Amino acid sequence: MAKRRSSAQKAHIKNLATTRKGHAASATLPSSASKTGQQIEKQRLEDLVSDQALRMQFLEAALEDAETRSTQFAEELQECSDINTELHSKLNSRDAAIQSLEERLSGTILELRKARKRTVRLTRKRRQAQEKHAFRVRDLVAEGNSLRQELLLQTREHEKVVQELRLTVKKLESNLRHGTKALTTTRLFEDAHRLDMHS
């Protein structure tokens, strides 16, 4: 609206300038016998007034245009201020989010360090347990081998004893058989001797 009014005023000023130039041109024409010095002076003063009025209108139009530009600039400045405020708010929100992420990341790193220490400690304990278990298995294997050797020796000794017992039993059986025969023969002689005594 202000721009349209400014354009119309500029057109009006242009028309006035054209009219003033026309008057000035007519003033420069050769004087007729009817014109006097007063009329020329009057015309000059009217042209001067017209020129001043034209200048005033031009200045008013320029002032109104400046006010319009100032209003637009103020609106743009306010819009920039609003955008700046919004950007600051977003930046503050982003900074808060970044700080929160940094705190969470710091906590995660701390937990990871603790977990790593626990893992190292558990790995060390497991390695020690595996080494201890390996030593125990080795000791048990050695002990088992020793017991097996001892058992083999005892088994051999037992087999020897069994063989000796078998030989002893055979000897005893043989002696028993021979002793039984001798006893039977002795009894027969005794019986015969008793019969002879009775007869």
Residue 66 has pLDDT above 90, yes or no: yes
Q: Is 4 within the bounds of a domain?
A: yes
- Asked if residue 31 belongs to a domain, the reply is no
pLDDT tens readout for residues 71-115: 999 999 999 999 999 999 999 999 999 999 899 998 999 999 999
Q: Which domain holds residue 12?
A: 1-19+49-71
Greatest Cα pair distance, the chain, in angstroms, is 234
Q: What pLDDT was estimated at residue 169?
A: 84
- What distance in Å separates the CA atoms of residue 141 and residue 16, rounded to the nearest whole number? 126
Total residue count of the chain as it appears in this document? 199
Q: What is the pLDDT, as a whole number, of residue 196?
A: 60
Domain count, the chain: 1
- Asked, for residue 33, whether it belongs to a domain, the answer is no
Flag whether 125 is in a domain: no
**Picking from 128-132, 161-165, 173-177, which range would have the lowest pLDDT averaged per residue?**
173-177
Q: What is the mean pLDDT of residues 152-177?
A: 85
Task: Enter the tokens of residue 12.
Answer: 């009006």
Question: What are the CA-CA distances from residue 42 to residues 23, 37, 38, 45 (Å)?
Answer: 12, 8, 6, 5
Residue 62 in any domain: the answer is: yes
Phi, psi of 25 (to 5 degrees): -65, -40
Angle between helices 2-27 and 37-198 (to 10 degrees): 160
**pLDDT category, 23, cuts 50, 70, 90?**
very low
Residue 157 forms part of a structural domain? no
pLDDT value at residue 2 = 43
User: Confidence class of residue 68 from pLDDT cuts 50, 70 and 90?
Assistant: very high
The pLDDT of residue 12? 53
Single pTM value for the model: 0.38
pLDDT of residue 188: 56
User: Per-residue confidence at 25, pLDDT binned at 50, 70, 90?
Assistant: very low
Whether 41 is in a domain gets the answer: no
Q: What is the DSSP letter of 36?
A: -
> Per the domain annotation, does 173 fall within a domain?
no
